Structure 1
Amino acid sequence: MKIPPHYLPVMPYLILDKSAEFLQYTKKVFGAREQMIVPDGDDPNRQIMHGEIKINDAVIMFAQSTDTWKQKPAGMFLFVEDVDRIYNAGIEQGGTSLQKPERKEYGYAAGFEDPFGNQWWITEAEYL
């Protein structure tokens, strides 16, 4: 199996009602980088027909929902460097708390839901 170097064997693909807003949210909260953005039509301010972002080495694909393809958010788990910073940014940018940052048996962790229905479970990588 030959996978292009900028992809992984498994990647989430989100269908979202507000794809352009999702892109901005992930940039502000996670420092996501655009890998590919295909706007819907000729107007660059329109929603996104197909998008790819990178958070560290992880790739998340997403697209604008349509009458045929309804919104399909997801839950994602991420190892991060700073749980407090990302959790606070997620909430400040319109997210809802699912779990305040706290020490768990597997590390320092938190969870929040973004304004688009996706759940983000974040943990600082600690090996006890």
Structure 2
Amino acid sequence: MPTHKPAGRNAVSPYLIVADARAMLAFLQATFGALELCRNARGDGSIMHAEVRIDDSVVMLGERPDGRDPVCCSTHVYVPDVDACYAAGLAAGASSVSPPTAQPYGDRSAGLRDPQGHLWWIGTHLSG
């Protein structure tokens, strides 16, 4: 059956424009257990495009070919254990924006800033 998107993909996926794609891939793997799906390099060895799967979602990323500054963003990720993910992120070089805290809307959430400046809001939903 024809579809407007690839199988196993959500309609919306974050696309990170980063300074160092190899470092970002390592951070995503260490923090979220991301599985690398693809990596396409340019002739100079820089990464034009890469994709990882985190749980049921794909995160895409690439380096700017012109060397201009990356575009920092803020992304939310639900994880099975926010405390363990927060600790893994810190161990992978992130800095704390907000420690894991129970929220009135039923999540336990935390914030990290990765070594390249992107914000990662992580949460575990605790109640329906």
Whether TM-score is above 0.5 comes out as yes
Equivalent position SS for 2:16 = strand
Root mean square deviation, CA, Å:
1.7
Equivalent position SS for 1:105 = coil
Percentage of matched positions with identical amino acids:
33
Give the AA of the match of 1:19.
Answer: A
CA distance in 2, matches of 1:8, 1:81: 19
Aligned to 1:92: 91
CA distance in 2, matches of 1:12, 1:109: 20
Give the AA of the match of 1:118.
Answer: H
Aligned to 2:10: 8
Give the AA of the match of 2:110.
Answer: A
For structure 2, the residue ranges without an aligned partner over 5 or more in a row are none
Within-5 A mapping of 1:69-84: 70-84=69-83
CA distance in 2, matches of 1:122, 1:79: 6
* 1:58 shift after superposition: 0.8
CA distance in 2, matches of 1:86, 1:125: 14
- The answer to whether 1:124 aligns with 2:124 is yes
| Corresponding pairs, count | 125
TM-score (norm. length: structure 2): 0.89
Superposition misfits of 4+ residues, deviation over 6 angstroms: none
CA distance in 2, matches of 1:59, 1:94: 22
CA distance in 2, matches of 1:39, 1:29: 23
Contact 2:48–2:65 (Cα < 8 Å) also in 1 = no
Contact 1:15–1:69 (Cα < 8 Å) also in 2 = no
1:56-78 deviation line (CA, Å, top 9, x unaligned)? 01111100123276411211111
For structure 1, the residue ranges without an aligned partner over 5 or more in a row are none
- The answer to whether 1:28 aligns with 2:27 is no
CA distance in 2, matches of 1:110, 1:28: 17
* 1:117 shift after superposition: 1.2
CA distance in 1, matches of 2:8, 2:47: 20
Aligned to 1:39: 41
